Chain A
């Protein structure tokens, strides 16, 4: 039982951090499909940072720096250049996936993956069999609660929601929607950096090209499934992680009978199910907001 909980926490924690990044962006009115790209930048920067500086603290700072810069780039393109958020987000994802691959190739030759000597610090023997988990796993519940307080119980959080839902009304009470979105995306950048660091350094200690393999998009689906509420979206992300962990478990116990590619498909199927269910329960999400502008110009 312990090991399956550990497996779920390991695969769920990166997803939850990135999901929270998506929640804050969504509340501010940005459909952030760049999560995947920002997350992989965080993963790559952490491992390369460890290789270059031999210190985890400086590596995570480097990762946060790059992820915040990527978030600012996305904000600039969406807010200042009035680009369509979905296409721009997909572009940022492509830049992240391609750029990290190029960075690894240009530093380490044609190597497909980079192994670091150590990863994120672990909890240690004090926690018994859970000591193999990283500090980010232990930090995660506090971050979730902090995000809930920030988004649902503070003046800032309510102003942020107003900026997302009705920018005009937000402006009338003196909030600046554009600046609020910048702040939201930057907080999201920090969260994506932690999520990426946990993915590459939590239980593993390496970076491989394209290693996020759709987790950023799953996080985005968790945001939709969880109605952009920090707790709801966290539970949705946890659900995807449970399905993924059960898939791996099933693969180990009867992998000969079921093709393992089908078991690998489980998290994606769970994502589709989650989005379908949330559409059923709450009516269609306001899909592709800003689509009309894209066409009519």
Chain B
């Protein structure tokens, strides 16, 4: 087995371990665990139409996770994808509001750009703080997530408030039908093509450009890269901005595709799941695509769980958290088993 394959298999073993552990806990909490696991599989991949639903969640997750992978590669622990995702969606919503009445062929690309700008800006300030004054980016990006969700509440109950909306959840005015890039099922050629373009562009960036190679080296050994004459802070800042812009793009897609509006408390764990995806995929772009499908399946099963196993949808949050707890584990026992398996092959 090659090393890269080995590490993905190892991650998947721990994912399975986390799933089994969750099943045991749910069984003790009084739920039917086998039924739960069966309905996760059912809701993710087996039910008719499930693949489409999984793909609907996988595509924005993939775009976000590729971005997370870019900043992780460069050695920056940008865990603020959630906030960058929100701010991207907010910027795109403002752009759509201001350009209302314009031709769709102009407004939609403008919204995409605005979303990427918003996400990029929300990653820019932690990046600057990190590179100029050494401020730990783990804390600044985390705090950025809280600030972005406050901003979302402010925007949806203030400037963009839908006056006709009622109930507890504040939300923005719905987007014009002409500017929607998919129906509420959230799968359309535009979204698929966007994800493919992002995937190819990022693969090229990482594997075929000096920037990608240097950024990866910078993540491993910054001093060496500086000796080679590369500007470390340019590399670092660019990778922050790229990862933020991609999270913002995913937010834009959620706004202009399936949701059609932004609401407070909208898609709560997208950014966190994206971090898991990037880590399971070992930061490779191709791997991210495969792993995003798996987690997209989990996300789509989350909507299916309350109906089938009587579990609250929060159960998927717990499963994701359990996966996070174990995902970076490197047990010697597992490694030994895997190596022996590799030799006998």
Q: Which residues of A contact B325 (CB under 8 A)?
A: 73, 77, 83, 88, 91-92, 95
Binds B, one of A46-54, A128-136, A187-195, A272-280: A272-280
From B130, B142, B151, residue with most partner A Cβ within 10 Å: B142
The CA of A98 and the CA of B327, in the complex, are separated in Å by: 18
Contact of A98 with B30 in the complex, beta carbons under 8 Å: no
With A83-B329, A87-B327, A98-B314 already in contact, the answer to whether A271 and B139 are too (CB < 8 A) is yes
CB of A204 closer than 8 Å to a CB of B: no
With A87-B275, A279-B134, A287-B77 already in contact, the answer to whether A94 and B318 are too (CB < 8 A) is yes
The CA of A283 and the CA of B73, in the complex, are separated in Å by: 23
With A90-B79, A98-B321 already in contact, the answer to whether A295 and B330 are too (CB < 8 A) is no
Q: What size tier do the contact residues of chain B reach?
A: 35 or more
- Chain B 139-158 interface residues, beta-carbon cutoff 8 Å to A: 139-140, 142-143, 146-147, 150-151, 153-154, 157-158
CB of A169 closer than 8 Å to a CB of B: no
Q: Which residues of A contact B318 (CB under 8 A)?
A: 94-95, 98-99, 102
Give A93-104 as 1s and 0s: 1 = Cβ < 8 Å from B's Cβ atoms. 111011101110
- Chain B 233-290 interface residues, beta-carbon cutoff 8 Å to A: 272, 275, 279, 283
Q: Which residues of A contact B79 (CB under 8 A)?
A: 86, 90
The CA of A81 and the CA of B130, in the complex, are separated in Å by: 30
With A82-B331, A224-B139, A297-B7 already in contact, the answer to whether A91 and B154 are too (CB < 8 A) is no
Q: Which residues of A contact B174 (CB under 8 A)?
A: none
The CA of A214 and the CA of B149, in the complex, are separated in Å by: 12
Contact of A296 with B151 in the complex, beta carbons under 8 Å: no
The CA of A93 and the CA of B320, in the complex, are separated in Å by: 11
Contact of A90 with B272 in the complex, beta carbons under 8 Å: yes
SS of B interface (majority)? helix
CB of B203 closer than 8 Å to a CB of A: no
Give the top 7 A-B pairs by smallest Cβ distance, nearest first.
Answer: A284-B134, A94-B321, A91-B324, A91-B325, A81-B329, A84-B328, A261-B154
A-binding residues in B (CB < 8 A)? 7, 25, 29-31, 72-73, 75, 77, 79, 129-130, 133-140, 142-143, 146-147, 150-151, 153-154, 157-158, 219-220, 272, 275, 279, 283, 312, 314-315, 317-318, 320-331
Q: List 21 A-B contacts (CB under 8 A).
A: A33-B138, A81-B331, A82-B329, A84-B328, A87-B275, A88-B324, A88-B325, A94-B318, A94-B320, A94-B321, A95-B325, A98-B321, A102-B314, A106-B30, A214-B143, A261-B154, A261-B157, A276-B135, A284-B136, A288-B75, A295-B72
If A83-B325, A280-B135 are given as contacts, then 9 extra A-B residue pairs at C-beta distance below 8 Å, sorted by A number, are A77-B326, A83-B326, A90-B275, A91-B321, A91-B323, A94-B321, A213-B146, A265-B147, A295-B73
